[in-house]
Amino acid sequence: MRICIYGAGAIGGYLGVEFMRAGADVSLVARGAHLAAMRQNGLKLLIGDEERVVHPRCTDDPTELGEQDFVIVCLKAHSITGVIERMQPLLGQRTRIVTAVNGIPYWYFYKHGGRHEGSALESIDPGGRQWKELGPERAIGCVVYPATEIEAPGVIRHVYGNNFPLGEPSGEITPEVESLSALFAAAGMKAPVLDRIRDEIWLKLWGNVCFNPISALTHATLDVICSNPGTRALSKAIMLEAQAIAESLGVKFRVDVERRIEGARKVGAHKTSMLQDLERGRLVEIDPLITVVQEMGRMTGIATPALDAVLALVAQRTRLAGLYDGAAGVAETKSLAVA
């Protein structure tokens, strides 16, 4: 089984170390100082009280690696379109692409059924390039729950979690997804195979769609957002809008909105990924976490006034900081200016 982890940052590096320790044939695609450090010193994972070091095959040139059985994409979702051409040498007729990214993936409406079957989502896949050039038929869904961070080039720190639920878009339990799940298990992680992977995607997105932009606007941590009456109420309003959209598309939530907010509050003084990116001067993931929900609301005819307002604000805030170059929030911001 040949596996390429495309984007060997915090999550990709964590997977790379653990897969290699389990004996898998793993290659890593990375860049810059992180790649240079891995080449020189290996890739180090700090987990609990342990230091785990491996010396992976790593490169910034995928043509060196050849066709793979699995390509696990661990990039920020907004970066994927920009590397489609570079990924092509990794893709054979039987290669599967595992979307270990935040938010709604490009293949969402593949084998979905209903009137939106086969639809591409412009906010996350401009021009449908991922759909056409990567192919939805190659996709396996993956929801990423662990928290990890790059402590220094070539050094990954595991913060918490080891759960990576997997699922075919069709809901089938195929030999490919079962073999991938078995690899995660052999590497000491959990990767249950789900027959309704979209339910799990929405369960995680349910919090990201509100907590991320609110944290970017207020610089508040999860415990504060979920305890302050105003931001808690705003979070709930956005979540209920998202829930209405998801349920109209057949999604089932296994917890209610209050329990989901309480779960986030109990995480404590945690900074969301969007707030961390903002503080570090990195591009933020607005479109795959927020704009796409707005787009799906338009598709289903469900109004999203709370989400629209917060999206317009966070898009303008991050655009002015040079950390967002998408289209979200432009129309809303213009209409507010006219008013």
Q: Is 190 a catalytic residue?
A: no
Question: Do the beta carbons of residue 131 and residue 125 sit within 8 Å?
Answer: yes
DSSP 146: -
Residue with structure tokens 């598709």? 299
Please give the C-alpha separations between residue 247 and each of 201, 240, 289, 290, in angstroms, as whole numbers.
13, 10, 17, 17
Q: Which two tokens stand for residue 160?
A: 């918490």
Helix (H, G, I), strand (E, B), or coil: what is residue 188? Answer: coil
Half-sphere exposure (Cβ direction) of 191: Cα atoms closer than 13 Å? 25
- Which among 158, 140, 127 has a CA at the least distance from the CA of 46? 158
Cα(290)–Cα(287) distance, rounded to whole angstroms? 5
Contacts 24+ apart (CB under 8 A), 299-307: 299/116, 299/119, 300/245, 300/248, 300/249, 302/241, 302/244, 302/245, 302/248, 303/241, 304/238, 304/241, 304/242, 304/245, 305/241, 306/234, 306/237, 306/238, 306/241, 307/209, 307/210, 307/238, 307/241, 307/242
Question: Do the beta carbons of residue 216 and residue 314 sit within 8 Å?
Answer: yes
Identify the active-site residue in 204, 236, 266, 271: 204
Residue with structure tokens 């933020």? 284
Cα(263)–Cα(222) distance, rounded to whole angstroms? 10
- The residues, any chain, with a CB within 8 Å of residue 186's CB and separated by 6 or more, are 22, 23
Cα(159)–Cα(142) distance, rounded to whole angstroms? 19
Active site residues: 204
